Structure 1
Amino acid sequence: MRVLVTGAGGRLGRAVLPRLLDAGHTVRATSRRPRTDAAVEWVVADLATGHGVAAAVGGVAAVLHLASSPNRRTHQIDVLGTRELVRAAGAAGVGHLVYVSIVGVDRVPIPYYRHKLAAERVVAAGPVPWSVLRATQFPQFLDDMLVASSRLGPVIGDRAVLAQPVDPDEVAARLVERLATGPSRDVEEYGGPEVLRFDEAVRAWKAARRSRRPLLPVRIPGRLGRVLRSGGLVTEATPRGSLTWADHLADTYGGTRAR
């Protein structure tokens, strides 16, 4: 099957491409700048402007839509860009569009999540048979956040916020399975193997880095804090990934995996 992957240069995209190739798919990938690769057909397309989108979907059987922009032009790229992609895919006769979203987009009151939820609705309302996979946060995101929150000395955060890190390679494997299964016209959630409180994650992170920085607890106020502490970012859905936060820390900072 010829599969188009948007956002192929991102963290998840880099995990998806080799899995698609290993599964025997022919892979076309989008980038805003020209790239070359003997194994992957790279094409130039820009969701923000629509440039190249119609050509990118021509002749493909399925689309894995991974592209997202959490920090700039989010509405333009995630919502309007998704609308243009869905429209073009429908006109090209694409048989399946898989959209990658985030667990909690329907609960966590932040603008980026509202845009992701709006994009889900664009996909569901469109002419292409579809599936949505919501994943929990990647451990690399949590790691980067802890590094940023400790730049002034202590690790700053709400100790009771719940997280469920999931390895991007396992999400990539789930996406390839989703392609093989075909359109579900439904939303599936996929999370990591364990739910951690923020203070638990910090303790393990500090031990892996051999850091003595204290945790400075700062309670997130209002509705956002309540949702994050009550599990807005986690899921009870099965199946789940198997790689733990401890596994990520061992791979990143050295040491022995938990298993």
Structure 2
Amino acid sequence: MTTILVTGGTGTLGRHVTERLRADGHGVRVLSRHAQPYGVDLRAGGPDLDAALAGVPTVVHCASSPRGGDEEAAGHLISAAERAGVRHLVYISIVGVDRIPFGYYRTKYAVEQRIERSGLGFTILRTTQFHDLLVSLFGTLSKPPVMPLPARVSDQPIEVTEVAARLAELALAAPAGRVPDMGGPEVRSFDSLARAYLHATGRRRPVAGLPLLGAAYRAFRAGDHLAPERAVGKGTFEEHLARRFGQEARSGRQGRDRRLG
């Protein structure tokens, strides 16, 4: 039985990777700040990280935070993995990190580069954004009376369990370097996705498309975060919303939102 360590194993993606590996009969060590017995802050490193990696041939690195610290955490993980003799480091990244001058994306790309230079066997998978992220974003944006959205931006959301299944598959295979991107089944305008969210949650909001400034916005508007040629995901945003909010919240509410601007 293979033992695999999953960093961020209690998070949105990591817990599904953990569940999938365990369901397939593999031993899993879950590493996060609050998990036991492997409660480790990767940004600090230290002997507890060495203990967590002892005897582990494969690591799936899902731990990440938009609040910062990913490069430092990756450095500690790589160093500890080298000491422990880890043979395979699997990393989840985001489509467009090498093209979009957005702070979090630049950090993810820097982590990719550190892994590639590490000398460890590695696999890097880039995917489009998860459905869960859009739900969280739209939940925040729909709080005001008018729901603001970045104008002329599309997205290609993917179901997190599909990404978890792919990561589990990659973890059990040999190191493959950068593998083909993984995108959701549909490229959709933000306006369309936001209206689907409002419909599912029973909220009435006018939707306003707002033009933004900056190179990052131009890159998102150009679709540098999309992978239409790799639309391999199956689950749609509406299917995700139906599971999350149920059928009742959506009945009879189609078409009640009006567009501004």
RMSD: 1.7
1:11 deviates by 0.6
Alignment of 1:28-107 (within 5 A): 28-35=29-36, 42-51=37-46, 52-71=48-67, 74=68, 77-107=69-99
Q: Aligned match of 2:151 in 145, 156, 159? A: 159
Alignment of 1:160-179 (within 5 A): 160-179=152-171
1:238 deviates by 3.4
Question: Contact 1:162 / 1:233 at 8 angstroms: preserved in 2?
Answer: no
Alignment of 1:134-149 (within 5 A): 134-149=126-141
Q: Tell me what 2:10 maps to.
A: 9
- In the alignment, is residue 204 of structure 1 matched against residue 205 of structure 2? no
Q: Tell me what 1:133 maps to.
A: 125
Query: Partner of 1:43: helix, strand, or coil?
Result: coil
TM-score by length of 2: 0.89
Q: Check 1:19–1:192 CA distance in 2 against 1; reply closer, same or farther (3 A cut).
A: same
Q: Deviations over 1:162-205 (max 9, x none)?
A: 11111111100000111222201224311111111111112212
TM-score by length of 1: 0.90
1:26 deviates by 0.8
1:237 deviates by 4.6
Query: Partner of 1:29: helix, strand, or coil?
Result: strand
1:222 deviates by 2.6
Question: Contact 2:187 / 2:228 at 8 angstroms: preserved in 1?
Answer: no
Q: Deviations over 1:66-117 (max 9, x none)?
A: 011112xx1xx31121112112112211111001111121122111111111
User: Any gaps of 5 or more consecutive residues in structure 1?
Assistant: 36-41
Question: Contact 2:32 / 2:39 at 8 angstroms: preserved in 1?
Answer: yes
Count of residue pairs the alignment pairs up: 247
User: Any gaps of 5 or more consecutive residues in structure 2?
Assistant: 251-261
CA distance in 2, matches of 1:29, 1:207: 37
1:250 deviates by 1.1
Over the matched positions of the two proteins, sequence identity in percent amounts to: 40
CA distance in 2, matches of 1:236, 1:184: 22
Q: Tell me what 2:208 maps to.
A: 216
